[in-house]
Structure 1
Amino acid sequence: MSSPTVLVVAKAPVPGLAKTRLAAHVGDDRAADFAAAALLDTLDAARATGWRVVVSMTGDLDAAARAEELREALADLEVVQQRGDGFGERLVNAHADADAGHGVVQVGMDTPQVTAAQLREAGELLSEHPAVLGHAEDGGWWLLALRSAEDARPLADVPMSTSHTGRDTEAVLPLPIALVQEARDVDEWQDAFMIASAFVHLRASAVIREAMPR
């Protein structure tokens, strides 16, 4: 199978709107800075695959933290605007926008520790499986790879951001499903602290270290 497309689903990291649970601990500006850094880290991994990269974006990038740096990082990538009423519907449309007939490997911006090798592994699994899923520790999922954008349609009816979103998503995917390693995504301070401790090279980790008591 030809190389798939990496799809990064992202939200402009605007202070007050980005990482609100993390913001309760570190403040709106630092939480938005973390979200921007996490997106930049994710884009690095996506670009390092050597595959086509599509970024499905929502929000006001002009008002975002690190707006200039983000615009520079996005300049050589394909950026499409998210469309749809709910997040599930926006995911369905994002897969349709990114699909070039060779499969789509989708991640968000909540797992800045993702590597190009992990994305490539998911893409390779698509040669033998119609769907690949990476569960998140909080019950959601952090990676979804599909051979056909048509198989993303059931996501419109899956409740998102729940403790059972991962299980519900797995239940509607075509069989056989390949599972990749579970990962921690960042919503709370403890998540960010764990990521910063384990992946010290990340931009996102540097933001969290600055927020730690000295």
Structure 2
Amino acid sequence: MSVSGPTEVLVIAKEPVAGRVKTRLCPPFTPAEAAELAAAALADTLEAVLALPARRRVLVLDGRPGPWVPPGFDVVPQNAGGLDERLAAAFGGCTGPALLVGMDTPQITAALLAPALAPDAWESTGAWFGPAEDGGFWALGLVDPEPGLLRGVPMSVPETGAVQRRRLVEAGLVVRDLPLLTDVDTAADAHRVASAVPGGRFATALGRLTGAGAR
């Protein structure tokens, strides 16, 4: 059952359609298999967010919502443009403290995100930053969701996280860090993440596909 809190939680995601999601998993997986893994990762992520103490839960979606969107989420379309513009627009639609996560870290839990969602999460804190092992970031929280803090940050490059975090510090924000996590980008990543959360939908889907001899 979802509960309330001071922070709006955003999930930025793509509709899990073959050929449009998790293309770096191909090979060894087929586009259809990659989409199945993406759908499972997204389902785990949305379930985790429903357990968070959030003021509002928003799915910022590239694509069309379907019956896979659980009750409790407002669905809004992603803006056009690069990822920095889409993230900026997502924060621009918020009216108070906001925390954004993606669909590539199905291992997130309420306990993992608890510091950024506690009643005192924003006392003397301007931003929460979740670094990813590939150099990006898996979570970003802003007490004042100013879109300009994201515009122009180079995305999907090894220095993305460093540039984004530096942007926050240079804006005068006190930044607190969340744990380092692995994004699911490659097949090796998928196995590492699944081993960390063996009971989730993502791990179950991966086990079924690899057990069937994924290519």
Same fold (TM over 0.5): yes
Quote the Cα distance in structure 2 between the aligned partners of 1:20 and 1:79.
Answer: 24
Mapping of residues 88-127 of structure 1, within 5 Å: 88-97=84-93, 99-101=94-96, 103-124=97-118, 125-127=121-123
Q: Which residue of 2 aligns with 1:50?
A: 53
Q: Which moved more, 1:19-28 or 1:117-126?
A: 117-126
How many residues get paired? 202
- Return the offset for 1:197: 1.5
1:30 aligns with 2:33: yes
Q: Which residue of 2 aligns with 1:21?
A: 24
Q: Deviations over 1:21-43 (max 9, x none)?
A: 11221111111011111111111
- Return the offset for 1:56: 0.6
Q: Which runs of 5+ in 1 are unaligned?
A: 62-66
- The answer as to whether partners of 1:136 and 1:183 remain within 8 angstroms in 2 is yes
- The answer as to whether partners of 2:59 and 2:75 remain within 8 angstroms in 1 is yes
- Return the offset for 1:123: 2.5
Q: Deviations over 1:97-151 (max 9, x none)?
A: 1x232x001100000000112223113332331011011000000010000111x
Q: What residue identity is the alignment partner of 2:117?
A: G
Quote the Cα distance in structure 2 between the aligned partners of 1:60 and 1:25.
Answer: 27
Quote the Cα distance in structure 2 between the aligned partners of 1:55 and 1:10.
Answer: 7
Quote the Cα distance in structure 2 between the aligned partners of 1:17 and 1:38.
Answer: 15
**Does the residue aligned with 2:18 lie in a helix, a strand or coil?**
coil
- Relative to the length of structure 2, the TM-score reads 0.89
Q: Select 2:166's aligned residue among 165, 171, 180.
A: 171
Q: Which runs of 5+ in 2 are unaligned?
A: none
Q: Which residue of 2 aligns with 1:64?
A: none
Q: Which residue of 1 aligns with 2:131?
A: 135
- Relative to the length of structure 1, the TM-score reads 0.89
1:161 aligns with 2:156: yes
**Does the residue aligned with 2:150 lie in a helix, a strand or coil?**
helix
Q: Select 1:80's aligned residue among 76, 83, 87.
A: 76
- Return the offset for 1:15: 0.2
Quote the Cα distance in structure 1 between the aligned partners of 2:139 and 2:46.
Answer: 14
Tell me which protein shows more helix as a share of its residues. Answer: 1
Quote the Cα distance in structure 1 between the aligned partners of 2:88 and 2:53.
Answer: 24
Q: What residue identity is the alignment partner of 1:126?
A: W
Stretches of 4+ aligned residues off by more than 4 angstroms = none
- Return the offset for 1:59: 1.8
Q: Select 2:11's aligned residue among 8, 13, 16.
A: 8
Quote the Cα distance in structure 1 between the aligned partners of 2:40 and 2:157.
Answer: 25
Quote the Cα distance in structure 2 between the aligned partners of 1:199 and 1:141.
Answer: 20
- The answer as to whether partners of 2:50 and 2:72 remain within 8 angstroms in 1 is no
Q: Which residue of 1 aligns with 2:200?
A: 202
Q: What residue identity is the alignment partner of 1:188?
A: T
Q: Select 1:144's aligned residue among 130, 140, 146.
A: 140
Quote the Cα distance in structure 2 between the aligned partners of 1:47 and 1:10.
Answer: 16
Considering only aligned residues, what root-mean-square deviation do their CA atoms show, in Å? 1.5
